[in-house]
Amino acid sequence: MQNKIAGVLLAGGKSNRMGGGDKCLMELAGRTLLSRVIDRAKTQVGPMVLNVNGDPKRFASYRLPIIKDVVSGFHGPLAGILTGLDWAKKNAPDVDYIATFATDSPFFPSNLVDLLYKTIKEGHVLACAKSNGRHHPVFGLWPVEKRLALQDAMTVENIRKIDIWTSRYKMGAVDFPTDHIDPFFNVNTPEDLAQARDFLNQLK
């Protein structure tokens, strides 16, 4: 199953609340957010790619294929999902799904993809994570066969919000517990980064 799912790390945003720049390259206890996300994702998927915009050289040390948005204009995670589907269709013929991961959320579950895949096998077309009463569609599992449908939605209908597109399909949500911290806690501000450090200290 793992080799039929490609991982797409979404880092194509502008990080405005962090003052711009590459939020995923900020350090958390001596390691970048991106390196932490890579370590948690790589055991859950087969091939893995990094979706970023701008100069790809700044990510060269991570030794991952770099894919830039196929729809220009910084249109958020939906553009990253489409980019990942497009890459998989053209470069990974054995891949049936892509799993997307936010690169500013270093604590997501190690069984995330397994549970999303189980939900799809139970009859859903799409699957995403849920916690604390909120859906997290950036952490989702997307069939490659929906690539052209998403492409039309973005380029013809000008759809930009994930929820508008996913509402067209039967979507399953896997609810994850929030015992100590929300596993989909994401670092948007310097205050969030400090909170993430506190959480790591509690785990020691």
- Please give the residue range of the domain that contains residue 182: 2-203
pLDDT digits 0-9 by tens, 146-173: 999 999 999 999 999 999 999 999 999 9
Share of the chain above pLDDT 90, in %: 82
Distance between CA atoms of residues 33 and 187, nearest Å: 9
- Contact status, residue 183 vs residue 108, Cβ threshold 8 Å: yes
- Contact status, residue 193 vs residue 185, Cβ threshold 8 Å: no
In this prediction, residues 127-134 reach a mean pLDDT of 97
CA distances from 123 to 96, 101, 199 (A): 15, 22, 36
pTM passes above 0.85: yes
Share of the chain above pLDDT 70, in %: 95
pLDDT at 113: 98
What's the structural domain count of the chain?
1
**CATH number of the domain enclosing 25:** 3.90.550.10
Count CA within 13 A, CB hemisphere, residue 156.
Answer: 7
* Average pLDDT taken over every residue of the chain: 92
pLDDT digits 0-9 by tens, 53-69: 988 999 999 999 999 99
pLDDT at 14: 54
Side chain identity at residue 8, one-letter code? V
- H helical segments located in 23-146: 33-41, 77-91, 112-121
Distance between CA atoms of residues 13 and 22, nearest Å: 8
